[in-house]
Amino acid sequence: MTDMPNFYCPFCRHILDGTTHKYSDAAWVQFNCEYDTTIDEIKPLTELFIKQEILIEHKERQKQTNKKIKVLKLRISELNSFKEKIL
Protein backbone atom coordinates (compact mmCIF):
# COMPACT_ATOMS: atom_id res chain seq x y z
CA MET A 1 0.00 0.00 0.00
CA THR A 2 1.47 3.38 -1.02
CA ASP A 3 0.81 6.65 0.72
CA MET A 4 -1.14 9.17 -1.31
CA PRO A 5 0.58 12.54 -1.71
CA ASN A 6 -0.82 15.39 0.34
CA PHE A 7 -2.31 18.46 -1.28
CA TYR A 8 -2.46 21.93 0.23
CA CYS A 9 -4.63 25.00 -0.13
CA PRO A 10 -2.99 27.58 -2.43
CA PHE A 11 -4.26 30.42 -0.23
CA CYS A 12 -3.66 29.40 3.39
CA ARG A 13 -1.33 26.39 2.90
CA HIS A 14 -3.48 24.15 5.12
CA ILE A 15 -3.63 20.47 4.21
CA LEU A 16 -6.61 19.34 2.15
CA ASP A 17 -8.78 16.29 2.68
CA GLY A 18 -10.16 15.59 -0.75
CA THR A 19 -11.77 18.76 -2.02
CA THR A 20 -11.77 20.91 1.12
CA HIS A 21 -9.57 21.64 4.13
CA LYS A 22 -8.82 18.72 6.41
CA TYR A 23 -9.24 21.07 9.36
CA SER A 24 -11.77 23.55 7.99
CA ASP A 25 -12.33 25.27 11.35
CA ALA A 26 -8.62 26.10 11.68
CA ALA A 27 -8.43 27.35 8.09
CA TRP A 28 -11.43 29.56 8.67
CA VAL A 29 -10.34 30.93 12.06
CA GLN A 30 -6.76 31.65 10.97
CA PHE A 31 -7.28 32.82 7.39
CA ASN A 32 -11.04 33.05 6.69
CA CYS A 33 -10.37 30.47 3.99
CA GLU A 34 -13.10 28.32 2.45
CA TYR A 35 -11.13 26.83 -0.44
CA ASP A 36 -12.86 24.06 -2.37
CA THR A 37 -11.22 22.36 -5.36
CA THR A 38 -14.58 21.84 -7.05
CA ILE A 39 -15.42 25.58 -6.99
CA ASP A 40 -12.09 27.44 -7.14
CA GLU A 41 -10.18 27.49 -10.43
CA ILE A 42 -6.77 27.57 -8.75
CA LYS A 43 -5.33 24.08 -8.36
CA PRO A 44 -4.16 22.82 -4.96
CA LEU A 45 -0.46 22.75 -4.19
CA THR A 46 1.41 19.48 -4.03
CA GLU A 47 3.43 18.32 -1.06
CA LEU A 48 6.55 18.44 -3.26
CA PHE A 49 5.94 22.09 -4.11
CA ILE A 50 5.48 23.02 -0.44
CA LYS A 51 8.65 21.16 0.57
CA GLN A 52 10.65 22.80 -2.24
CA GLU A 53 9.51 26.22 -1.00
CA ILE A 54 10.57 25.32 2.53
CA LEU A 55 13.94 24.09 1.27
CA ILE A 56 14.56 27.36 -0.57
CA GLU A 57 13.70 29.32 2.59
CA HIS A 58 16.04 27.17 4.71
CA LYS A 59 18.89 27.56 2.22
CA GLU A 60 18.44 31.33 2.24
CA ARG A 61 18.48 31.39 6.05
CA GLN A 62 21.58 29.21 6.05
CA LYS A 63 23.26 31.58 3.60
CA GLN A 64 22.45 34.57 5.82
CA THR A 65 23.66 32.73 8.92
CA ASN A 66 26.94 31.81 7.22
CA LYS A 67 27.47 35.48 6.31
CA LYS A 68 26.90 36.51 9.92
CA ILE A 69 29.32 33.83 11.14
CA LYS A 70 31.97 35.08 8.73
CA VAL A 71 31.54 38.67 10.00
CA LEU A 72 31.74 37.50 13.62
CA LYS A 73 34.87 35.43 12.97
CA LEU A 74 36.51 38.48 11.41
CA ARG A 75 35.53 40.59 14.42
CA ILE A 76 36.93 38.00 16.82
CA SER A 77 40.17 37.99 14.87
CA GLU A 78 40.35 41.80 15.07
CA LEU A 79 39.71 41.72 18.80
CA ASN A 80 42.36 39.05 19.35
CA SER A 81 44.94 41.05 17.44
CA PHE A 82 44.00 44.17 19.42
CA LYS A 83 44.34 42.16 22.64
CA GLU A 84 47.83 41.02 21.63
CA LYS A 85 48.90 44.58 20.92
CA ILE A 86 47.74 45.75 24.33
CA LEU A 87 49.42 42.94 26.24
The three-point CA angle 47-51-55 to 5° equals: 170
Which amino acid, residue 58? H
Mean pLDDT of 60-64: 98
Tens-digit pLDDT profile for residues 3-58: 778 999 999 999 999 899 999 999 999 999 999 999 999 999 999 999 999 999 99
Give the predicted TM-score (pTM) of the model.
0.71
Q: Where are the beta strands (DSSP E) in 1-87?
A: 7-8, 16-17, 20-21, 45-46
In which region does residue 13 sit, left (phi positive, over 0), alpha (psi from -120 to 50) or beta (all else)? left
State the DSSP H helix or E strand holding residue 48, giving kind and residue range, or none if neither: helix 47-86
